[in-house]
Amino acid sequence: MSAREEILKRLRANTRETYDKPDLSQLKPIKYDDPVAEYITKTTTTAGAKLIEMKPSDDLATIVRQIADGDSVASNLPAVKADVNPDTVGSAQELMKVGVGVVAGTIGVAENACVWIPQETKEKAVNFAVQHLVIVLPRTAIVNNMNEAYTRIEASTVYFQEYKFGTFISGPSKTADIEGALVYGAQAARALTVILTP
């Protein structure tokens, strides 16, 4: 018997009461009259990120350079003029020297302002190691709730093809200690900007 099986056997032997799973069939996932408007509101308030709404005449490369304000840019998106390509770096550590990382988001969720980012670069560290993360997200990719997001992920034949990783990101990285001192960038990017494309 493996250690895992031994632990589970002891847990079962010492379980005094069991409860049936609650019936969740009556719960209705949250829906919004305007998921895009709700996503914008939650991104800029609850999540603490910045949001830029692109017009059809805007140039993505120009917007990214304005955000970078002289810092180096890492991205493999063709429309972005990057200084570093996460597909060609020798190691993930090289991305720690980069100021701005630009990645493509594929699903935005209105209920919590998070964005699904499948790994589409060799080094997924571009999502976490840079100081400022920029997510490019199409307006048409915004859904009401996490149920809809997971349904899209499960139905997709695109995700997890080459790389077996994806993550939901919502706002800049922040943490606070017991005294309430708030620290940005503790686990990932200090700042996050979502560029909403038409």
The 107-109 sheet, strands edge to edge: 142-143, 107-109, 114-118, 166-169
Q: Within a domain: residue 17?
A: no
Q: Within a domain: residue 23?
A: no
Q: Within a domain: residue 123?
A: yes
- Domain span at residue 35 reads 29-197
Q: What is the pLDDT of residue 33?
A: 97
Q: Within a domain: residue 12?
A: no
CATH number at residue 106: 3.40.50.10420
Digit-coded pLDDT (tens) for 93-121: 999 999 999 999 999 999 999 999 999 88
Q: Within a domain: residue 15?
A: no
Domains held by the chain: number: 1
Digit-coded pLDDT (tens) for 45-97: 999 999 999 999 999 999 999 999 999 999 999 999 999 999 999 999 999 99
Helix (H, G, I), strand (E, B) or coil at 3: helix
What's this model's pTM, rounded to 2 decimal places? Answer: 0.84
Q: Within a domain: residue 1?
A: no
Confidence band of 163 (pLDDT split at 50, 70, 90): confident
Q: Within a domain: residue 98?
A: yes
